[in-house]
Amino acid sequence: MNYSIDSGAKVHVNIMELLVQNEIDKQLRLYPKKIRDYINKVEVATYALNRLPPLYASSLIGKEHQKRTGMQKYKSQITLAVRRSLAAIERDPIKKTVPIRPESYVEHDLAKESLDKLETLFKRQGILGDYQKLSWDNLYRVIYPLIAKLKYETIKRNELEFAALTDVSKQLSEELSQSYNLTQRER
């Protein structure tokens, strides 16, 4: 039997992440606000998750099953991993780190940058007014008439060029015909 990796599931989640996040929030409630503000929850979660087994699910039933499994089987391990993680992070709470940005954020930023460049170009060309904003919602409404106009102008230009070539061809044909007739008369 062949099974496809994508048999309808569009998302899979590690339920352990949710359980760890809940435990972090629970334990941080016991900390003074000044200390809580300096603790990077992402680092705490990462540290703890690296010491716990994953519990992946791709359906709502699977999600509920993994939550029950996690709470029954790994509750004490989760509590201990988060406690140790907080202790490790507390040693250097203001440590500066460069977070990883998901690829989708990077793609979003590039798409936004491209949209901004199009907006600037369209404003420069007088296609958009100074106070108009280009967005993903109105991009089609702005670009479609431009493409239609360009297509129409291209067709018209091609028709004009064809007509001009036809006229030149007729003139050349007539000149050649006259020249031929003249050479025939001279003989």
Tell me, yes or no, whether 124 lies in a domain.
yes
Cβ–Cβ contacts within 10 Å for residue 148, how many?
10
Tell me, yes or no, whether 130 lies in a domain.
yes
Structure tokens at 73: 């089987």
C-alpha distance from residue 92 to each of 14, 39, 118 (Å):
28, 9, 45
Kindly report, residue by residue over 161-184, the tens digit of the pLDDT.
888 888 777 787 777 777 777 777
Tell me, yes or no, whether 24 lies in a domain.
yes
pLDDT at 1: 46
For residue 71, the enclosing domain spans 13-90
**Tally of structural domains, the chain:** 2
Is 128:139 a contact under the CB 8 Å cutoff? no
Residues 162 and 133 in one domain: yes
Of 25, 57, 90, the residue that ends a domain is 90
Kindly report, residue by residue over 17-40, the tens digit of the pLDDT.
999 999 999 999 998 888 888 888
Residues 128 and 60 in one domain: no
Tell me, yes or no, whether 1 lies in a domain.
no
Buried b (16+ CB within 10 A) or exposed e, 123-146: beeebbeeeeebeeeeeeebeeee
Coil vs helix vs strand at 123: helix
Coil vs helix vs strand at 112: helix
Nearest alpha carbon to residue 93 among 168, 20, 43:
43
pLDDT at 8: 58
pLDDT at 53: 97
Of 57, 90, 123, the residue that ends a domain is 90
Of 90, 123, 146, the residue that ends a domain is 90
